[in-house]
Each structure stands twice: as structure tokens, then as C-alpha cells.
Amino acid sequence: MNPRASKLSKLPYYPILGAAIYLLLGLLWIEFSDVFLASIVSDPVLLTRYQTYKGFVYVLLTAILAWVLLKQRLQFEMALTESQRLSHMAFDYAATGIAYVDVNGQFIKVNQELCRMLEYSADELRSMTFQHITHPDDLLLDQGLREKILANDIKQFSIEKRYITKNNHTLWVRLSVALLPPQQHLSAYFISVVQDISAIKHAQHQLQESEQRFRTLLDSMPNISVQGYDEHGVTLYWNKGSELVYGYSKQEALGRNLLDLIIPQPMHNDVKAAIQAMTHSGHPLPAEELQLQRKDGSLVSVYSSHAVIFDPDNKPRIYCIDIDLTERKQQEAQLAFLAEYDPLTHLPNRQFFTGRLEQAIKVARREKLQLAVLIIDLDNFKTINDSYGHSVGNLLLKNVSEKLKIFCRDTDSLARLGGDEFAILIEHLPHTEDAARFALELLQALQQPANLTERIDVTITASIGISLYPEHHNNAESLLQGADAALYKAKAEGRSTYSFFSSQLTSTARQRLQLETKLRLAISHQQLQCYFQPQVAIQSGQIIGAELLIRWQDAEQGFISPELFIPVAENCGLIHTIGHFVLEQACLLGKQWLEEGLPQVKLAVNVSAHQFSKGDFEQQVISTLLATGFPAHLLELEVTETALMHNKDAAIRTMQQLRATGIRLAIDDFGTGYSSLAYLQRLPLDILKVDRSFIDNITDNDDDRQISKAIIELAHTLHFDVLAEGVETAEQLALLKEMACDYYQGYYFSQAVPAEQFRQLLLNQSPHA
Ligand SMILES: Nc1nc2c(ncn2[C@@H]2O[C@@H]3COP(=O)(O)O[C@H]4[C@@H](O)[C@H](n5cnc6c(=O)[nH]c(N)nc65)O[C@@H]4COP(=O)(O)O[C@H]3[C@H]2O)c(=O)[nH]1
């Protein structure tokens, strides 16, 4: 029954009641209107007419009213019939199954859709109960809920359940049931609305299946970790990959916060912010590479991407898909290594070396340094390869690379350019021959027999080509080419040697190295001697001292000038041995002469810049004085301006310490350097030696004369004594006397002479002079 139709049926009786009231009021009007009109209208004609027609008017009005009412009733009846028809149609043709079911479960009325769903006809269904066609597993639930409605515990219910259709198919439906209370002639019955959800269930089933398959798939990928977290970071999902990548089992991970699991402490705040941002926006953050933490505390590199999925309760779930990059990183590192290193020797390759060289050139350009590039090529390597095979050849290359590694300093760069070719970059090369010395020593080291296997010992030689920056080339490529060309020359010269890019340099370097080798021998065979050049007071003409000058008489070459070998000695470090020898000679002989009663004279010793800048120089001087007993005030140390220029403050400190012991200090070759007056004032000097180059022309060059005069005056102003070097003539001496120069030395008085000869000079001099 349509409740709206029953309401409509009551409506038309209100106008009938109205009509009855109208009739009653009309009759009353007919009865009493004459009296009423007579009281207000006095015209008897009008009153008569009214009485004649009043019945007719009343009947007319009543007829009209009856007609209106009848029409309204007819319209209403028609509307009611139409509404009932529509209601039946709606029931029948509804897209949802509808059934009226009595309290025992018997179908009373079913619509077409329900029949279609259950594959029964309406008549068949009306002869059945819902229990007949309900899936046994769902029967208890359905029945129980209906009982609850009947017991008035609930008003209605809605469940998902299964029916078994006539053709024995399982049909998933959403069933909504409400109880219609008993009415006049009808007992209570259930209205069931049945919605076919088989398609949804099927889709859900498929989804579950595909989810299951997806999970199986995820679990089968060991280096892909998938984790699911709630909005607080609590772990909800943890696949096999996560177990393998992070080391936590599923049981250990589920329910724990990801911050306690895999996020290193310093990242905690960032991760919290990221979770908040994703759960609020519903959008994942961009994927990125992260370093996360394993159970054992070690870090693992992962490429982490995220997805934000809302669950059926609309709660955000964050899924992280982390790809373990460990293997890829190792491969990348391996590739990076191979791009720059030689896999056999693990030395940098040509590409890396060229880059390193370019960098070094930039620094050298800025700091005005010299660089050397050496290419080392093994002589006859092919023969070894051919005779013993490649594996022995490889062992030899490894052996050579080890020797090279040991040989190079930390600041040198070593590489294998390919085949049997190696390269070394020497930065901060102070002198050209340092590269030659390096090459020579390297050749000697490589010549040591190499024990490759139990039975194979190989002795091999190498050739080396050297090119220099900036002297030969100013870019990496050309420097390598230059060294290669030089290598070719070395090979052409008969191998087992080195060669510079320029032949001139090769011969100079070789000469200097030969000289160095000879000097070593000369020192060890005590072939160096100290000569003494007297220093004379200009006013009195008395010897006041002598400068010690080193002399080397070589058996083959004859006299070798200190101007030639002192720079070589400075480069190879022999200057310290020579310096110490001269100092010791001065002190020993000086002391000996004092003991003999010879006149007291000061002995001047040249000190090289290299000695001066070495930390223990003062110590060495003091201990020599103590060891020999030579008085400090008779020892004079000559330092050149250039020696003082290197580290001015340290030089001043050293000089002050030496001066404090009573030693005299002289500045040598004055005028050739760039000492400023201000700097000179700070130096604790005793004597200033005017360079020979000024004295040479003092007689005929006005400029030199003026400069010498100015130097002498300046020195006196600063309370230094002045000694003129290289005085060869009486004229020079006369001029110097005029200029009030204090002392001189030079061939005019005497060349440097052996100790005994100088001793004779002293003996000949009056002791009281
Ligand atoms: N033409 C000419 N030359 C004169 C005359 N009087 C002296 N000489 C030379 O001038 C040089 C003076 O020495 P120097 O300026 O210290 O210059 C020295 C000094 O810088 C260095 N030297 C010599 N002996 C030593 C030494 O024991 N230690 C160090 N560190 N350097 C030394 O070698 C340089 C050259 O020494 P030598 O060849 O001995 O040359 C000496 C000396 O023989 C002269 O009247 N005319």
C-alpha cells in the first residue's frame, strides 16, 4: 500500500462537509432573509421580487456547487488510480530487487528485478522462503538480524550476503531489510531491498588476487623494499625486500615507528616533516637518494620514492618503495675507478694523469713554479712478454708500478699511461737537474732484479723522457708529447738513460749530475781544501783576518771553481757537508794558530742560504765553537743578501741568536741584492762587504764610485764596518782609503792561499800590529 495514496483518500471529504454547511446556511438564509431584508429595505416591489426568485437563485448556486464538487472528486479519484499504478510500476520495474517477506521468511511479493537476479519466476519465489535460497554460510546472520528487528532491538539492517540462484550460481547482494508494522487487514512483513553486488565482489576479489600477486611479486624482488606507514610513521606493511635491505624481520618491523627502525638520528626532523606534508597534502614528495640505517647500524644507500594512498576509512597511508643502491653504487664505483685507474696496477690512467697535470699547471702558473713530466718506458718489455707470456709480463708491470710507488714522494703523481709506459709528475721542481737526478736514481732503482715467480727473476732497464713547464710547454697535452719526444731521444741514445725535451738541457743536466757524483767522491776522498784570502785594514795595511774559500783540485779536470760546484752542492744538499767542513776548518786552524801565538785574526766563513734556512744551523755553529775552543768573537759568518731575503724575520732571529754568542756577522756581496735601508737597520751586522762588481770599475766609472762611496757612508751611519772586495790595484785602494773604507781583500794584497801560506803571512806580520 502506498502511504501517500491513503492520505489522498481523506482529502475530498472536507469539501463535502463544506457543502453540507453551505446547504444548512442556505436553508437558514431562505427562511430568515425576508425578515432581515424587510428591516433594512423599505421598497415593497423589491422585496416581492426577491421572494419570487430567491428559491431559483438558491437552486442555481447549489447546482454550481454540486458540479464543482463532483468534478473535484472525479479528478481526485483519477489521480489516486494513477498514483497506485505508478507505485506498482515502480515496484515492478525498480532497478533494485524488492521483496515483501513475511515474518517467517515467506516471499509475499517480489519484483521483476529480484526474479531476474535469482532466476526464479515471481510465482516460484512466492512459494519459497528466503531461507531456501540463502547461502548456508550467511543464513544465521540474516535470520539473526531479522529476529532482532522483530524483538525491536534494531529498526533495520543492511548486510552483504549470498543467495544461491535457481541455476545454482552464487549471487552476492547487499540486502537492506526493514519491518512494516501490522495494518488493519495486514500482519507485519519485511520489506527487503536487494542490490546485486556480484560485479563489485568480483572486482574486489580480483583486486585481492592482484594485490596478492603484487605482494608475491614485491617479495620476489630482494633489492626492492616496500614499506607502508600510517600517518604517525607506524609500520603497517613490510615486504621481504625490506627484511633483506634493512635486516628487520616483518615481525620486528610491524607496529614500530620508522624513525626507530631505519631513519638515522640526524634525519628525524626532516622525515617527520615529510610525513606530515604527505599526509596533509595527499601528494608524495619527489623521489630522492637517501642513506638509511640497517638493523646493524650500518648505512645503506637507497633510491626512495613514495605513494600516499587513502584507506577505506579515508586515513592516509604512506608507502615507501626503496631500491637498494648498494650494488649499483659498487658498479658505479667500479666504473668510476676504471674510468680513471688502470685495473692491473691500480695506478691512475692517462686521462686522470692529464687532468691532474692540468691542475698542477694552473697552480704552477699562479705560484711561478716549475714542473717536470717524466715518461718512463721499459726497455725490451716485449721480449719478456714474448718469452714468458702475458701473465709474467703483467707481474713485471705490477712489480715496476710498486717500485715506482715506493720511489715517488707524496707530492708526485704517478700513472700508467698504457702498455709498459708510466708517467710521473713532479711538482715544485726547484732546479732542472732535480728532475735529472730523480730520473737517474729511478733508472737505478728499476734496474734492481724483479723476482716475479718462484723461478723467474727479471732484470730490466728503462728509458725516461722529461719535459718541463714552463720551459718546454705550457699545457698538459704538449708536456706529455714533449716527454714522449724526449723518451724517443733517450731510446735512440741506446736506452737505459734519460733525456730532456731540449738537448741543451739534457747535456747541462747530465754535466751537473756528473759534477755532483764527482763532488760526492771528492768529499769522501777529502779532496776539498780550504784556502784563506787575507783581509787587510786599509789605514794600517795589517792583516786583520781572512775569508775561507773552498778549493777543489780534480785529478782529471784540474781546478773546479766554487762558482760551478757550490750551486750543484746547494741543489743536492751537499752544501751542508761542505759548510760544516769549512766551519770546522776555520775553528780548528784558528784555534791552532792562536795556540801557536800568532796574531789574533778573525776568520770569515761563507754561509749558503740553504744552510741558513736549515733549522739547526745556530746549534751546529755553537757546538763547533765549543768542540774546538775557538773564540766566538774571532769567527765571522758571511751571509749574502739573498740568503736573508728568503724569510726575513726568521733570518733576523737566527742572526740575533748567533750574535748573542759573540759571533761576528757580515753581509756579503752588498749592493747586488735589494736590501732596504729599513731592513738593514734591523740586522745585527758587524761588517758590510761591498761587492767586487762596484770595486772593479771604481777608478773609471763615476757611478760605481758614487755608489761605493754612498754604501760606505751608509754603513758607517748604521755603525757597520766596511770591507771592499776584489781590490786589484793601488788606485782602487787609494780611492777606497779616500772614501774612508775600513778593510779590503783582493789580489792586490793576495789571492786565497793554502792554510800554511796564510800562517806564514801571519807569522811575518808584526805581533803588535
Ligand atoms: N777577480 C777577482 N776575484 C777575486 C779577487 N779577490 C777575491 N776574489 C774572488 O772573489 C770571490 C769572493 O768570494 P765570494 O764573494 O764569497 O764568492 C764565493 C762564494 O760565494 C762561493 N764560495 C767559495 N767558498 C765557499 C764556501 O766555503 N762556502 C760557500 N757557501 N760558498 C763559497 O764561491 C764564490 C766564488 O769563490 P772564489 O772562486 O773563491 O772567488 C772568490 C775569490 O777568489 C780579486 O781581486 N779579483
Please indicate whether residue 562, judged by its CB atom, sits closer than 6 Å to ligand 1: yes
Q: How far does the centroid of ligand 1 lie from the alpha carbon of residue 551, in Å?
A: 10
- Which among 207, 213, 259, 215 is positioned nearest to 240, based on CA atoms? 215
Average pLDDT of the segment spanning 136-154: 95
Assign 722 to helix, strand or coil: strand
Q: How far does the centroid of ligand 1 lie from the alpha carbon of residue 766, in Å?
A: 27
Please indicate whether residue 497, judged by its CB atom, sits closer than 6 Å to ligand 1: no
Please indicate whether residue 732, judged by its CB atom, sits closer than 6 Å to ligand 1: no
**Ligand 1 atom index nearest CA of 669:** 15
Assign 308 to helix, strand or coil: strand
Q: How far does the centroid of ligand 1 lie from the alpha carbon of residue 529, in Å?
A: 14
**Ligand 1 atom index nearest CA of 549:** 24
Please indicate whether residue 752, judged by its CB atom, sits closer than 6 Å to ligand 1: yes
Percentage of the chain exceeding pLDDT 90: 62
Backbone angles phi, psi at 703, to 5 degrees: -60, -50
Please indicate whether residue 568, judged by its CB atom, sits closer than 6 Å to ligand 1: no
**Ligand 1 atom index nearest CA of 562:** 33
**Ligand 1 atom index nearest CA of 747:** 45
Please indicate whether residue 747, judged by its CB atom, sits closer than 6 Å to ligand 1: yes
Q: How far does the centroid of ligand 1 lie from the alpha carbon of residue 520, in Å?
A: 21
- Average pLDDT taken over every residue of the chain: 89
At residue 528, the pLDDT reads 96
Please indicate whether residue 446, judged by its CB atom, sits closer than 6 Å to ligand 1: no
Query: In the structure, what pLDDT confidence band is assigned to residue 15 with cuts at 50, 70 and 90?
Result: low
334 or 413, which is more confident = 413
Q: What span, in angstroms and rounded, lies between the C-alpha atoms of 466 and 439?
A: 9
Q: How far does the centroid of ligand 1 lie from the alpha carbon of residue 550, in Å?
A: 8
Query: In the structure, what pLDDT confidence band is assigned to residue 564 with cuts at 50, 70 and 90?
Result: very high
**Ligand 1 atom index nearest CA of 638:** 16
Grid cell of 558 as nine digits: 784540474
Q: How far does the centroid of ligand 1 lie from the alpha carbon of residue 436, in Å?
A: 28
Q: What span, in angstroms and rounded, lies between the C-alpha atoms of 197 and 491?
A: 92
Q: What span, in angstroms and rounded, lies between the C-alpha atoms of 136 and 118?
A: 16
Query: In the structure, what pLDDT confidence band is assigned to residue 90 with cuts at 50, 70 and 90?
Result: confident
Assign 651 to helix, strand or coil: helix
At residue 4, the pLDDT reads 38
- Which among 675, 687, 539, 670 is positioned nearest to 604, based on CA atoms? 687
Backbone angles phi, psi at 761, to 5 degrees: -60, -40
At residue 435, the pLDDT reads 93
Nearest CA to ligand 1 atom 17: 563
Q: In what order do the strands lie in the sheet with 97-102?
A: 107-110, 97-102, 189-196, 170-180, 156-164
Q: How far does the centroid of ligand 1 lie from the alpha carbon of residue 648, in Å?
A: 24
Please indicate whether residue 726, judged by its CB atom, sits closer than 6 Å to ligand 1: yes
Q: How far does the centroid of ligand 1 lie from the alpha carbon of residue 606, in Å?
A: 9
Nearest CA to ligand 1 atom 16: 606
pLDDT digits (tens, 9 = 90+) for 672-703: 766 666 777 788 899 999 989 889 999 998 98
pLDDT digits (tens, 9 = 90+) for 604-633: 999 998 888 777 899 999 999 999 999 999
The residues, ordered by sequence, that sit 6+ positions from 440 with a Cβ below 8 Å of its Cβ are: 498, 513
At residue 14, the pLDDT reads 64
Q: What span, in angstroms and rounded, lies between the C-alpha atoms of 154 and 176?
A: 13
Residues comprising the chain, all counted: 769
Q: How far does the centroid of ligand 1 lie from the alpha carbon of residue 604, in Å?
A: 12
Residue 739 pLDDT > 90, yes or no? yes
DSSP string, 79-102: HHHHHHHHHHHHHHH-SSEEEEEE
Given CA atoms 217, 220, 224, 228 in this order, what sign does their dihedral have?
positive
Single-letter amino acid code for the residue at 664: R
Q: How far does the centroid of ligand 1 lie from the alpha carbon of residue 547, in Å?
A: 9
At residue 3, the pLDDT reads 39
- Which among 126, 164, 157, 125 is positioned nearest to 143, based on CA atoms? 157
Q: How far does the centroid of ligand 1 lie from the alpha carbon of residue 482, in Å?
A: 39
Architecture of domain 529-763: Alpha-Beta Barrel (3.20)
Please indicate whether residue 611, judged by its CB atom, sits closer than 6 Å to ligand 1: no
At residue 609, the pLDDT reads 85
370-519 matches 203-330 in CATH topology: no
CB-based contact 486:439 (threshold 8 Å) = no
CB-based contact 576:624 (threshold 8 Å) = no
pLDDT digits (tens, 9 = 90+) for 350-405: 999 999 999 999 999 999 999 999 999 999 898 888 888 999 999 999 999 999 99
**Ligand 1 atom index nearest CA of 752:** 43
**Ligand 1 atom index nearest CA of 748:** 45
Q: What span, in angstroms and rounded, lies between the C-alpha atoms of 72 and 96?
A: 36
Please indicate whether residue 534, judged by its CB atom, sits closer than 6 Å to ligand 1: no
Q: What span, in angstroms and rounded, lies between the C-alpha atoms of 322 and 300?
A: 10
At residue 213, the pLDDT reads 83
269 or 79, which is more confident = 269
- Which among 178, 189, 3, 175 is positioned nearest to 96, based on CA atoms? 175
Which of 519, 549, 695 to probe ligand 1 with, by most ligand atoms within 8 A of CB?
549
Single-letter amino acid code for the residue at 127: S
Which of 606, 637, 727 to probe ligand 1 with, by most ligand atoms within 8 A of CB?
606
Residue 769 pLDDT > 50, yes or no? no
**Ligand 1 atom index nearest CA of 582:** 27
Nearest CA to ligand 1 atom 39: 549
Any bridge partners for residue 306, and if so which?
Answer: 320
At residue 108, the pLDDT reads 94
Please indicate whether residue 279, judged by its CB atom, sits closer than 6 Å to ligand 1: no
Beta strands 664-670 and 687-690 are parallel
At residue 677, the pLDDT reads 66
Please indicate whether residue 549, judged by its CB atom, sits closer than 6 Å to ligand 1: yes
Q: How far does the centroid of ligand 1 lie from the alpha carbon of residue 705, in Å?
A: 22
At residue 415, the pLDDT reads 97
| Integer CA distances (angstroms), 306 to 61, 400, 559, in order | 85, 53, 86
**Ligand 1 atom index nearest CA of 691:** 15
Q: How far does the centroid of ligand 1 lie from the alpha carbon of residue 752, in Å?
A: 9
Nearest CA to ligand 1 atom 31: 606
Average pLDDT of the segment spanning 329-342: 89
| Cell 624482488 -> residue | 221
Domain boundaries, the chain: 3-91, 94-196, 203-330, 370-519, 529-763
Assigned CATH topology for domain 94-196: Beta-Lactamase (3.30.450)
Average pLDDT of the segment spanning 434-444: 92
> What's 105's DSSP letter?
S
The residues, ordered by sequence, that sit 6+ positions from 471 with a Cβ below 8 Å of its Cβ are: 370, 432, 502, 505
| Integer CA distances (angstroms), 290 to 182, 262, 304, 657, in order | 70, 11, 7, 61
**Ligand 1 atom index nearest CA of 745:** 6
**Ligand 1 atom index nearest CA of 605:** 27
Average pLDDT of the segment spanning 331-335: 87
Residue 7 pLDDT > 60, yes or no? no
Grid cell of 561 as nine digits: 771553481
Please indicate whether residue 606, judged by its CB atom, sits closer than 6 Å to ligand 1: yes
Query: How many CB atoms are closer than 10 A to CB 639?
Result: 24
Q: What span, in angstroms and rounded, lies between the C-alpha atoms of 190 and 98?
A: 10
Q: How far does the centroid of ligand 1 lie from the alpha carbon of residue 549, in Å?
A: 6
186 or 197, which is more confident = 197
The strand ranges marked E within 145-207 are 156-164, 170-180, 189-196
At residue 13, the pLDDT reads 59
Q: How far does the centroid of ligand 1 lie from the alpha carbon of residue 744, in Å?
A: 14
pLDDT digits (tens, 9 = 90+) for 296-314: 999 999 999 999 998 878 8
Q: How far does the centroid of ligand 1 lie from the alpha carbon of residue 727, in Å?
A: 13
Please indicate whether residue 566, judged by its CB atom, sits closer than 6 Å to ligand 1: yes
At residue 6, the pLDDT reads 43
| 696-703: Cβ within 8 A, 24+ apart | 696/726, 696/728, 698/732, 698/735, 698/736, 699/729, 699/731, 699/732, 699/735
- Which among 552, 564, 549 is positioned nearest to 525, based on CA atoms? 552
Average pLDDT of the segment spanning 416-429: 94
pLDDT digits (tens, 9 = 90+) for 486-543: 999 998 888 889 999 988 888 888 888 889 889 999 999 999 999 999 999 999 999 9
Q: How far does the centroid of ligand 1 lie from the alpha carbon of residue 656, in Å?
A: 25
Please indicate whether residue 550, judged by its CB atom, sits closer than 6 Å to ligand 1: yes
What CATH class has 203-330? Answer: alpha beta
Q: Does domain 370-519 have CATH number 3.40.47.10?
A: no
**Ligand 1 atom index nearest CA of 533:** 7
